[in-house]
Structure 1
Amino acid sequence: MTTGEPTAPIRRTWSEVHERATRMAGALVAGGVAPGDSVAVLAGDPAAIAPAVQAVWLAGGSITMLHQPTARTDLAEWAEDTLKVLSMIGARLVLLGAPFDALAAVLDQHGVSYRLLDDLDGEPPAAPVAVDESATALLQLTSGSTADPKAVRITHGNLWSNAEAMRVAAALDPETDRMVSWLPLFHDMGMVGFLTVPMLLGIDLVKVTPVDFLGRPTLWPDLISRYQGTITAAPNFAYAIAARRMEGVEDGTWDLSRLRIALNGAEPIDPVAVKSFTDAGARFGMPAECVLCAYGMAETTLGVAFAPLFTGLSVDVVDPDELEAGRRAVPVPADSPNARAFPLLGPPLPGLEVEVVDESGAVRGEREVGQLRVRGEAVTPEYLTVDGPVATQDADGWLDTGDEGYVVDGQVVVCGRRKDVIIMGGRNIYPTDIERAATSVEGVRAGNAVAVRLDAGTRRERFAVVVESKHAGEDSAVRELSKAISARVVDAVGLRPYSVVVLKPGSLPKTPSGKLRRSAASSLVPSAS
């Protein structure tokens, strides 16, 4: 495991990480951590977090990665939200590490027990504390509002099943693979996909932080080149940012030819962002086929479906009218007017089943759109909420994903979140279609457009578009930008937004992991009464 890039890289073998973890586990057990105890971690350095996670598991406890405050965070609000989380998960201890050890005073003020990671050093236990496969391994905080927290309870059985399934589907090989990641460790893709899995399987990992990436986006391809990385992952916005920054780099600067998996699966996949990334990477030998479209969620530990390896971005092009009004994905030629293109996300991972049902629960057929649900060994048994645990599965073991989609040739296709669908004139409009149209307008920040459903009241339903732009505040520029966005949206979906709101960069509400929050963005639209 290599950390500390780009200023002071340090490589530790997984054996060295484990040796440190055993000493930390000894200190935890001596300090009273018992089987089943919930332990929270607040730290920024992956080199400190990796052994801490192992240590808690060796001591028989479960891990929760707390959301991290930023420079703009109101610490009083953060403390209030964090106390809710700690109470919800029943945490008896917080493990603090740099740069958040400075928050010790805040925890003291609220009577929260904590220990500094640097101080955990004890006699290694003779053996790991035994727990059952149904015991909690990870309490993964969801991406919703921190003021109304919810955690996915992932058992050791869930975690092992999904890790093994992803090993098979991605053909992971400790002898030849090297993973490169900047993803946050409080997010499921970062914590499970790019820490737990390589740690479990013994795969080389180069790990930096989101702050490192955002401060210098070209650090990401630079690390892939210097370490000959074979596997990486990111959400849409990061691929778009990296593509723009790569354009100004001289030919021959990097060698990205070893990259075999660039996974995109944290949100609805934007084919435009993916293509911009592969186009920019082609000059450095990056094969376009390395893109791996995936479907994932914390409720299945991480992965639900992976597209076949080294097939790149494959899309299913369908008739928009049949999709929106007929709830069917009828294939049409790629150049058909206003055709919708959805990435094919591959078959379900080993040990998982996916099916599509209508509102009554009846199973839908091939290319029929409905509610996606999933069943299998990796599926969480319950959520923890502020009001207590809530079961996730029905009597037959099915979990409702909250997503709309369909299945074609055994591959899963996701159309969008059910709660975000905009229904107008009997048509189901997916906000991602509107958002992609808006972000295609010059002047709109890549990945920073939100389509929000407006409360119709007694009127028919309407929607607004909220975007970020450096032109916010410039009246004439905003007027022109709004007109261009409206025109582009009409071209894409045949409907005009009720309003277009242009905000300065950094204004759109996002989850701690960086996803846009559509429901919260609706409050930014002036009254539509």
Structure 2
Amino acid sequence: MYCAAVSRIVTAMLTSGNRRDRGIVVGEPRAAERFAWSQVHERARRIAGALVGGGVPARATVAILAGEPAVIAPAVQAVWLAGGTVAMLHLPTSRTGLRTWSETTLEALRLVSADVVLIDRPFASFAAKLADVGIPFMMIADLTGKPLADVVPSGDDEPALLQLTSGSTAEPKAVVLTHANIHANVIAMLAATRTDVEREVFLSWLPLFHDMGMMGFLLLPMAFGADLVSVTPRDFLFHPLIWAELISKHRATVTAGPDFSYGLLGRELAAVPDGTYDLSSLRIALNGSDPIDPRSVDSFVTAGRRFGLAERVVLPAYGLAEATVAVSFSSPGTGLRLDAGLALLGPPLPGVEVRVSGEDGRECGDREVGELWIRGPSVSRRYLTVDGPVPTHRDQGWLPTGDLGYLADGEIVIRGRITDVITIGGRRVYPTDVERAAASVPGVRAGNVVALRLDEGARRERFAVAFESTLAGDAAEERRLCDEVAAAVVHAVSASPAAVIAVPPGALPKTSSGKLRRAAAKSRFVARLR
């Protein structure tokens, strides 16, 4: 059953696969069901047996098209048991039409050279598309029968996961993550959060095709045998208070979400009667993926205080897919701390090195803004692109992140993406500053504002602001809102937007993980931005 060439992360899963006292709860709130990790592992063995028996070779790239955690958990484990590499496919959203999603999914499959696609029942209709283009597929529900007897060897240095990037600012590509990358990052996260897997209860609604959901809230608890409660993004977005309900019901200790979700939950909690929930069990509410707005955190903490939420429960973090997921975490129990109004994102995780590089290549000093470079055992060595594999790193293993920021007494602070920063007369204007100012105007939907750089490369660039509002379409209200947004932006950054436009809810393009797509927004509204 065991093999010397089995990677450390798979070995950990084999060990946790014996546990009957820990597992995953799915199906909340309508039909909650618990599966012990031993049951997940048994199902994974059967799927792996069907893969190998069906002719899927070792080292195959196996794409997974599924949304339910109860399906994804054994499927991912099965691919690794069969010696394959996982590629999680993004799911359609309300902001992406099915035709567009279908086209981008086929592009992704070609990008990763998928050998086979595993499909869950809700996406069965996509099988016809795969058949048309000659990509083999299997229905996950049909993968039953004799369990795999012996794990197919796969070493630490072999690819484990092809993480498709969200494409928020550029053409999609896949980050190649090895078994060693994943193991190193998971171990570092456990250490940085002082996690005791015997006591923790993880809770997540994050998508499992996204790095934060997959690494932190599936692979970590599944590999090390911690309890996990997992629902879907749809569950949260349709009923945000499910997050609080499940913290209270399951005594969850660790959860996570992007910044907008804490603001949304805070607003919902503010309208709930005292005593409805008990949030006192929560130890860590990791805030990552998006720029952190102190107003979102304050809304969540203030509203949660009535339900026993710890004052300093929010844990600001920084990460990226190229680092597997996590680069830095704030220390648990310190809460949100600011440096010049910006979130301190903690020191680098154990084993991760960070330097700040100036435009001339020199290393920047304390609080001097430059590009963050990272290196370490959890950092990927290559991308898959439409032009083939390319290295992620430069000399001596350093990976340029594309993020502008600085170190403040050893802690990371992020200013924005290099490609998004607007230069006006030699002065940098950061999109996050513009977006926060615009979002402060009543009538503008928080988390649905985008600052768009115009005239890239000119000495005096321009920028535009697009925002969602339920008042879009009412000419008088639009005019008033646009004027107020422009005034708020000028006050915040001392620069006037060249254009301000209001659009209805759902009009701003987002990735399937919820990030605003700046390039797509600019293309969509270019006629109104000039």
Same fold, judged at TM 0.5 (above): yes
Residues of 2 paired with 1:18 and 1:458: CA distance? Answer: 57
**How much has 1:80 moved relative to structure 2?**
2.4
8 Å contact from structure 1 (residues 44, 98) kept in 2:
no
Residues of 1 paired with 2:116 and 2:452: CA distance? Answer: 40
Give the SS at the match of 1:18. helix
**How much has 1:5 moved relative to structure 2?**
0.6
How many residues align? The count is 506
Which residue number in structure 1 is paired with residue 37 of structure 2? 14
**How much has 1:87 moved relative to structure 2?**
1.5
**How much has 1:171 moved relative to structure 2?**
1.3
Residue 104 (1) aligns with residue 104 (2): no
**How much has 1:88 moved relative to structure 2?**
1.4
Residue 24 (1) aligns with residue 54 (2): no
**How much has 1:528 moved relative to structure 2?**
5.3
- Among candidates 83, 105, 111, match of residue 60 of structure 1: 83
Residues of 1 paired with 2:463 and 2:358: CA distance? Answer: 25
Residue 508 (1) aligns with residue 498 (2): no
Q: Which amino acid aligns with 1:315?
A: L
Residues of 2 paired with 1:146 and 1:517: CA distance? Answer: 6
Residue 493 (1) aligns with residue 493 (2): yes
Q: String of CA shifts for 1:26-57, please: whole Å, max 9, x gaps.
A: 11111122221100000121101100000000
Which residue number in structure 2 is paired with residue 433 of structure 1? 433
Which residue number in structure 1 is paired with residue 28 of structure 2? 5
Residues of 1 paired with 2:460 and 2:170: CA distance? Answer: 31
Residues of 2 paired with 1:81 and 1:355: CA distance? Answer: 35
Which residue number in structure 1 is paired with residue 110 of structure 2? 87
Q: String of CA shifts for 1:318-373, please: whole Å, max 9, x gaps.
A: xxxxxxxxxxxxxxxxxxxxxxx111111110111000011121111111111100
Which residue number in structure 2 is paired with residue 36 of structure 1? 59
Residue 173 (1) aligns with residue 196 (2): yes
8 Å contact from structure 1 (residues 450, 518) kept in 2:
yes
Alignment of 1:44-443 (within 5 A): 44-70=67-93, 73-144=96-167, 148-317=171-340, 341-443=341-443
Residues of 2 paired with 1:41 and 1:350: CA distance? Answer: 31
**How much has 1:207 moved relative to structure 2?**
0.4
**How much has 1:527 moved relative to structure 2?**
5.3
Q: String of CA shifts for 1:449-508, please: whole Å, max 9, x gaps.
A: 111111268672111110000000101111111111111111111111111100000000
**How much has 1:98 moved relative to structure 2?**
3.0
Q: String of CA shifts for 1:240-291, please: whole Å, max 9, x gaps.
A: 1111111111100000011111001102111111111111111111012110
Q: Which amino acid aligns with 1:231?
A: V
Residues of 1 paired with 2:360 and 2:213: CA distance? Answer: 36
Residues of 2 paired with 1:87 and 1:425: CA distance? Answer: 43
Change (3 A) 1:123 1:344: same
Residues of 1 paired with 2:476 and 2:401: CA distance? Answer: 43
8 Å contact from structure 1 (residues 45, 98) kept in 2:
no
Q: TM-score, normalised by structure 2?
A: 0.93
Give the SS at the match of 1:28. helix
Change (3 A) 1:472 1:175: same
Give the SS at the match of 1:80. helix
**How much has 1:108 moved relative to structure 2?**
2.3
Give the SS at the match of 1:309. coil
**How much has 1:122 moved relative to structure 2?**
3.1
8 Å contact from structure 2 (residues 426, 459) kept in 1:
no
Q: Which amino acid aligns with 2:330?
A: A
Runs of 4+ aligned residues of structure 1 deviating over 4 Å after TM superposition are: 456-459
Residues of 2 paired with 1:520 and 1:147: CA distance? Answer: 9
Residues of 1 paired with 2:213 and 2:168: CA distance? Answer: 19
Q: Which amino acid aligns with 2:443?
A: G
Change (3 A) 1:220 1:452: same
Out of 377-386 and 172-181, give the one that drifted further.
172-181
8 Å contact from structure 1 (residues 466, 525) kept in 2:
no
RMSD: 1.5
Give the SS at the match of 2:394. coil
Change (3 A) 1:457 1:257: closer
Q: TM-score, normalised by structure 1?
A: 0.93
Unaligned runs of 5+ in 1: 318-340
Which residue number in structure 2 is paired with residue 334 of structure 1? none
Q: Which amino acid aligns with 2:454?
A: L
Q: String of CA shifts for 1:113-147, please: whole Å, max 9, x gaps.
A: 11111111132233311112111100000010699
